[in-house]
Structure 1
């Protein structure tokens, strides 16, 4: 009877650990997403938060798609030099942020700046 209890407890632990691992893996890791899918998700989020018009969505989608493609290349070429990749990603974000702001009105641009600040605070900081 005691062995059966230990066996059941062991099975429950294995199920719990594997479920947790799959849940962690299933989160939307942006680097592993297709650039078109990343761009679509980003524009959808921006549309909800900034009330973008259709013409703005189309223009911003093109910029975000280019950014996602560029960042995918940066990430794949980074190798072990994470600092180089981090600085290249930051430069890419700044470049495309300016381009995206060109399609926003003043109120949307202000809100976009606030959103970017929130996103940067949520972004994991490593080696700091």
Structure 2
């Protein structure tokens, strides 16, 4: 297992954050599955732990996902790969590694700061 030592924090939600995912069928064509519901358990600028009732087949290849969620105000859409899956009550937990994107990382950090400030008030 590789560890991202340059990743400086992971934010765990008190209540899981609702989101939507689509399995990317063909990256070149932009072809995706129909949407499914998911919940974000925690997030960092480079990835997230998500829960879904759907059993995404990850045994034989890297499965790409398109995940959409809102941390505070801005709708965030991110592409990436599932790096692990574990059975969990009523579904599965997935480790989701975002594609590298410095702009997206900055947006996630900014939105998390705004979310945290609003939770304190």
Larger Rg: 1
- TM class by shorter chain equals under 0.3
| TM-score, structure 2 as length reference | 0.26
